Amino acid sequence: MSLGHTGVTSEPAGEVADEASTAALFDLEESEKDCGIRDVLDRLGDKWSVQVVVELSRGVRRFRELQRALPGGISQRMLTLTVRRLERDGMVSRTVHPTVPPRVDYELTDLGRSLAHLVRTLTDWSLRHHHAIAEHRARWDAAQPQ
């Protein structure tokens, strides 16, 4: 394991890992696991990538439509970087139409749609459990010395 990483010794109650995927993961060399997983999670863990995937899961968007739809106000430069990275990773396709001015459309690829499905699952879980998590945080914060 890498420095600072703590391993999980057991599955949370009610959750069982897929044995085949877990076995395959443990068969990888440590450096292979670290590199491959970290690269993917770094992309998905940045501030904007998941939000872009969620918005594109609703359909094809032009650049400005996508920019206006993202909550929190993304700059043009950051959106450009984000869609380029997602395009490089094979999750977004970019189509330039030969018009004046040029029209550029963005849409999810099959790989991006498979990610959108997982993000929706995580979003649904978050909606179901956010009150319980807030209550746990409040109890924990109250019990901690300042």
- CATH 1.10.10.10 for the 48-141 domain, yes or no: yes
pLDDT per position as a tens digit, 76-107: 999 999 999 999 999 999 999 999 988 999 99
Domain segments of the chain: what residues?
A: 48-141
pLDDT at 40: 80
Looking at every residue in the chain, the average pLDDT score rounds to 81
Residue 101 is classified by DSSP as: S
Q: Write down how long the chain is.
A: 146
Nearest residue to 51 (alpha-carbon basis) of 69, 75, 39, 63:
69
Rounded Cα distance between 5 and 41, Å, is: 14
